[in-house]
Amino acid sequence: MELITIIIIGVALLVMSIFDLKERKVISILPTVTILLALVMVIHTTPIKIVYGLLGLGFALVFWEMGFLKGVADLKAMVIVSLTITSLTYFFIFLISFTSIALIYQIAFFNPKKYLSGEEIPFLPVFFITYTFINFIQFINLI
């Protein structure tokens, strides 16, 4: 059951990332339904993960206020990924890997012309990459 949830959420994050890359926006219902699906799975399997989801929401709001996250879909993606975290240790690994991957992603795709014109870089792929990375680490139990 846990593996099915990981795959479904991963596919949803991939679809959201593709929308973000192509359209620069995400259909609002997709991340909302994914959060609801993740909540149902979490309540059914491991209710303590709701705490990590709330922590993720808190950090998402802080990142949003700092200007690191730009849209509501980014906030929702942070909550979605946080709901899949299995322990506080992995939550901190998630935060560290998320900020590291985000910085590398921003540097790799920085374009001065687009920056000066106010065009933003699609950011949801960072969540998909981080989600894949953190679930890989959790799966092989490196820590």
Domain ranges of the chain: 2-140
Q: What is the pLDDT at residue 91?
A: 92
Q: Using N-to-C axis directions, what is the helix angle for 49-65 and 29-45, rounded to 10°? A: 150
Q: Look up tokens 């959060």; give the residue.
A: 35
Q: What is the pLDDT at residue 114?
A: 66
Q: What is the pLDDT at residue 116?
A: 64
For 13-17, 45-49, 133-137, which range has the lowest pLDDT when averaged over its residues? Answer: 45-49
75-99 pLDDT per residue, tens: 999 999 999 888 899 999 999 999 9
